[in-house]
Amino acid sequence: MSIQNWARLGLLIVAVAILVSGPYWASRGTMRLLIEVFYFLALAQLWNLLAGYSGLISVGQQAFVGLGGYAMFSLAMFAGVPILFALPLAGILTALIAWPTAFVAFRLSGPYFAIGTWVIAEVYRLVFAQIPALGGGSGISLPAGLVKAMASGRSARESLIYWIALAIMLVVVLGIWIVMRSRVGLSLSALRDNEEAAVSVGVRTRSLKFVIYIATAGMTGLIGALIFVQKLRITPEAAFSVTDWSVLVIFIVVIGGIGTLEGPILGCILFFVLREYLADLGAWYMIILGTISVVIMLVEPRGLWGLILRWRNITVFPVTRRK
Amino acid sequence: MEWVNAIVQGILLGGLYALFAAGLSLMFGIMRFVNLAHGDFIVAAAFGTLLFVDATGVNPLWALLPIVPIMMAAGYVGQRLVLNRLSGKDILPSILVTFGLSIILQNLMLEQFSADSQRVSAGALDTSAISLGGGLTVGTVPFLLFLSAIGVIAVLNWIFAKTAIGRQLRATSDDPETVGLMGLDKRHLFGIAMALASAVVAVAGVLLAIKTNFDPAAGPIRLLFAFEAVIIGGLGSLWGTLLGGVILGVAQGLGAQIDPGMQILAGHIVFLVILVLRPQGLFPTKRGS
């Protein structure tokens, strides 16, 4: 390994160690914020895998956040599954539902795929609003007993949720990195750069996109399950919110830099910094975010990370061959 | 009788959806471009109508006079200055820019007009009704709306079939490179197409304001209805789009008849079923490829 790679590994280990020890140094407020950072970063990386690497521009990932959340609540409340087991199960269930969903969504391509996924997410929202057992349109709370059974005491539970969120985020980021360095990653890059040429050398476009879509949905469902365990309450509006789980996630990726692993991290940090200072502005906050992302798409479609690359050719997660 | 009534109301509602859809269909047909802010532009035109009526106190239909040209000019300029820079093989930038634009527009309207639901009154027209015989009556406003949808689509079809500019637009749709070789400016033609689509958006917005309540967040659902009508009808045919709108409207009307909570859902489900069974739409035109 080169010195550069050792330095990279060292930095990564230090960063992970600092984050893992979070419950020992962070206040409750900081931990809540970090949990949110983790799941937004994971959602952003997953959306980036779809749109930036696989050409599947979805505006409907909120479908899987919501399905994961509702699967989690249903498993815990009706099947009596302990929350810690219900979390991964909710992810698997979401992936299973994503399967037939993909058959419908893949009837459309390009921009129509984007709006089609949005329609499908709306269908799930409207369907869950019609289920009385899950509280219909006004939603339902996780019974306190089930939540208490997660861990002994409130701070232990919060630490547990923190670590799970961190673990999911790390699995997503490192997982996508590993995938992008593999044969699959090479196929995806080939598809993105020139679909006809990729197909002509034997990349199986459709099945590859299909698998990516379902795997992404499953992970998104797992994140959704965790989000609503933390929130303790789920409503169709919150679970299938296009603003929270698509608009903000897309802004994070676009501002940071689509089609790179570093971009969403940068975008996520910037997003939370901006939110700390601008969230009080309400509608203007969204106008500012929207304007930044539109300007970035017009000026430098590779995002802020692309601007950094113009200045210096650096990489945190190398996925291409060194030149 | 209730069911017949639900179907008739659904057909008339379909006219409005066809108007929403015609602009979207035009943009995709000529520029291979989907505007995710389409619904928000319709709502912006509706708010424009509200401002106009508040300022002048005249019948809201007069709002067409300022709003149509304003939207056309904005469409042309926006296409030349911004959207033309995005047209190319990669669809990602245009989707993401119009998506950002959608959020900006929604929040600007929210800032300007608050989240309250608004409505523009068309005076006596609001409550007047036309009897179709057999105990069936329809509101004058929905009926006029349906007629204007037919009118708008007829005019668009006439432009495409009979005029020089329509021929140039069709040629651009088929093969933009060759159109360039013939000495026509693709950027200008795209601007014209966007102006035409914006005129339809303006009409749809003014009629939306008269027909129903709207608020700053009402755009996305209009985009979805427009999209569903286009896909149900089949790409490339404006009359197909009208039928797509009618099918969507009837599905929603029947859904609402079963249960008020089912109205929107029934429309979505009919759309998804048609998408699975007949992804090319019900009335696709075979042109070019």
Domain ranges of chain A: 26-240
Q: How far is B55 from chain A (nearest CA, A)?
A: 26
Domain ranges of chain B: 2-277
Closest CA to A55 of A240, A259, A239, A228: A259
Chain A residues closer than 8 Å to B269 by CB: 123
**pLDDT at residue B289, rounded to an integer:** 35
Q: How far is B183 from chain A (nearest CA, A)?
A: 28
Q: Do A286 and B96 touch (CB under 8 A)?
A: no
Q: Do A111 and B220 touch (CB under 8 A)?
A: no
- Alpha-carbon gap, residue B68 to B152, rounded angstroms: 13
- Alpha-carbon gap, residue B80 to B88, rounded angstroms: 14
**pLDDT at residue B288, rounded to an integer:** 38
Chain B residues closer than 8 Å to A250 by CB: 96, 99
Please give the class, per CATH, of domain B2-277.
mainly alpha
pLDDT band at A250 (very low <50, low <70, confident <90, very high): very high
% of chain A residues with pLDDT over 90: 62
pLDDT band at A118 (very low <50, low <70, confident <90, very high): very high
- Alpha-carbon gap, residue A214 to A66, rounded angstroms: 15
Residue A3 burial (C-beta neighbours within 10 Å; 0-12, 13-18, 19+) = exposed
Decide: B205 and B60 in contact? Cβ < 8 Å: no
Contact pairs from chain A to chain B, CB under 8 Å: 119
- Alpha-carbon gap, residue B72 to B69, rounded angstroms: 5
Q: Please state the rounded mean pLDDT for residues A97-102.
A: 95
How many Cβ atoms from other residues are within 10 Å of residue A298's Cβ? 14
Determine which of A201-205, A260-264, B5-9, B205-209 has the lowest per-residue pLDDT on average: A201-205
- Alpha-carbon gap, residue B285 to B240, rounded angstroms: 9
- Alpha-carbon gap, residue B103 to B105, rounded angstroms: 5
- Alpha-carbon gap, residue A59 to A43, rounded angstroms: 13
Q: Please state the rounded mean pLDDT for residues A215-240.
A: 95
- Alpha-carbon gap, residue B92 to B103, rounded angstroms: 17
Closest CA to A230 of A117, A65, A79, A113: A65
| B237-261 pLDDT, tens digit each | 888 999 999 999 999 999 999 988 8
CA angle A36, A137, A144 (to 5 degrees): 55
The beta-carbon neighbor of A115 closest among B106, B223, B279 is: B223
How many Cβ atoms from other residues are within 10 Å of residue B266's Cβ? 23
| A56-68 pLDDT, tens digit each | 999 999 999 999 9
Q: In this model, does residue A37 exceed pLDDT 70?
A: yes
- Alpha-carbon gap, residue A25 to B133, rounded angstroms: 77
Residue ranges of chain B whose pLDDT lies below 50: 288-289
Chain B residues closer than 8 Å to A57 by CB: 91-92, 95-96
**pLDDT at residue A323, rounded to an integer:** 53
Q: Do A110 and B86 touch (CB under 8 A)?
A: no
Residue in A101, A126, A131 to test binding to B, most B beta-carbons within 10 Å: A126
Secondary structure class of B137 (helix, strand, coil): strand
Closest CA to A249 of A16, A10, A62, A78: A62
